[in-house]
Structure 1
Amino acid sequence: MKITVTRPRDLGEAEIKRWRDLQLTGRDLGNPFLAPEFALGVDRFREGVRVAVVEDASGIAGFFPFERGPLGVGHPVGFGLTDLQGIVADDDLRLDARTLLRSCGLAVWDFDHLIARQALFAPFHTARRVEPVMELGEGFAAFEAHLKEAAPKTHKTIRYKERKLGRDVGELRYEFASADTADLRRLMDWKSDQYNRTGRTDRFARPWIVRLVRHFHETGFGVLSVLWAGEEPVSAHFGLRSGPVMAGWFPAYDTRFGKYSPGMIGHLRLAEGCAANGVEEIAMGRGGKEFKEGFKGREIPIAEGRVARRAPGAALHWARTTPLNRARAAVLDNPELYKRADRVLKTYARLRGRVS
Structure 2
Amino acid sequence: MDITVHRPDELTGADRSAWTALQSQASSLGSPHLANPFLAPEFALAVGRCRSGVRIAVIREDGRPVAFLPFERSALGVGRAIGLGVSDAQGLVHRPGLRWDARELLHACGLSMLEFDHLVEGQNPFENRSLKPHASPVIDIHDGFAAYMGRLRERSPKFTRTTLAKERKLRRDVGPVRYVHDERDPAALLTLTRWKSAQYRRTGRSDRFAHDWIVRLVQELFHTRSDSFAGLLSVLYAGERPIAAHFGPRSASVLSCWFPAYNPEFAKYSPGLVLHLHMVEEAAAASMAYLDLGRGEAEYKDSLKSREIRVAEGWVMRPHPVALGHWARRAPVRALRNAVLARPELREPASRLLKQVGRLRSGR
Query: TM-score scaled by structure 2?
Result: 0.94
After TM superposition, list the pairs within 5 Å mapping 1:336-351 onto structure 2: 336-351=345-360
Aligned to 1:109, the other structure's residue is in SS state strand
Distance of 1:29 and 1:169 partners within structure 2? 42
Show CA shifts across 1:74-119 (max 9, x none): 1111111011111101352221211111111111111111113311
Aligned letter for 2:334?
N
- For 1:134, the equivalent position in structure 2 comes to 139
8 Å contact from structure 1 (residues 175, 226) kept in 2: yes
- Ranges in structure 1 where 5+ consecutive residues have no aligned partner: none
**Which of residues 36, 44, 47 in structure 2 aligns to 1:42?**
47
1:124 to partner: Cα distance: 4.4
**Which of residues 66, 84, 89 in structure 2 aligns to 1:84?**
89
- For 2:332, the equivalent position in structure 1 comes to 323
Worse-superposed segment, 148-157 or 332-341: 332-341
Residue 70 (structure 1) aligned with residue 75 (structure 2) = yes
1:290 to partner: Cα distance: 2.4
**Which of residues 184, 197, 218 in structure 2 aligns to 1:213?**
218
Distance of 1:93 and 1:273 partners within structure 2? 35
8 Å contact from structure 1 (residues 5, 51) kept in 2: yes
1:161 to 1:336, Cα distance in 2 relative to 1, 3 A: farther
After TM superposition, list the pairs within 5 Å mapping 1:8-47 onto structure 2: 8-23=8-23, 24-25=25-26, 26-47=31-52
Show CA shifts across 1:228-283 (max 9, x none): 11122110000111112111110000010111111111111111122223433111
Residue 242 (structure 1) aligned with residue 251 (structure 2) = yes
**Which of residues 283, 286, 291 in structure 2 aligns to 1:274?**
283
Aligned to 1:78, the other structure's residue is in SS state coil
Aligned letter for 1:101?
L
**Quick one: percent identity of the two aligned structures?**
49
Residue 203 (structure 1) aligned with residue 208 (structure 2) = yes
8 Å contact from structure 1 (residues 124, 306) kept in 2: no
8 Å contact from structure 1 (residues 55, 61) kept in 2: yes
1:215 to partner: Cα distance: 1.5
Distance of 1:323 and 1:37 partners within structure 2? 34
Distance of 1:89 and 1:336 partners within structure 2? 41
Aligned to 1:238, the other structure's residue is in SS state strand
Aligned CA RMSD, in angstroms, stands at 1.5
**Which of residues 239, 260, 266 in structure 1 aligns to 2:269?**
260
Aligned letter for 2:179?
Y
Residue 151 (structure 1) aligned with residue 156 (structure 2) = yes
1:126 to partner: Cα distance: 3.2
- For 1:192, the equivalent position in structure 2 comes to 197
Distance of 2:63 and 2:182 partners within structure 1? 41
Distance of 2:211 and 2:280 partners within structure 1? 30
- For 2:128, the equivalent position in structure 1 comes to 123
1:59 to partner: Cα distance: 2.9
1:51 to 1:288, Cα distance in 2 relative to 1, 3 A: same
Distance of 1:57 and 1:102 partners within structure 2? 21
Distance of 1:227 and 1:280 partners within structure 2? 23
Distance of 2:224 and 2:287 partners within structure 1? 18
**Which of residues 170, 181, 203 in structure 1 aligns to 2:186?**
181
Aligned letter for 2:288?
V
Show CA shifts across 1:151-176 (max 9, x none): 21211121111111111111111010
- Ranges in structure 2 where 5+ consecutive residues have no aligned partner: none
Show CA shifts across 1:194-228 (max 9, x none): 01111111111112211111111122321100001
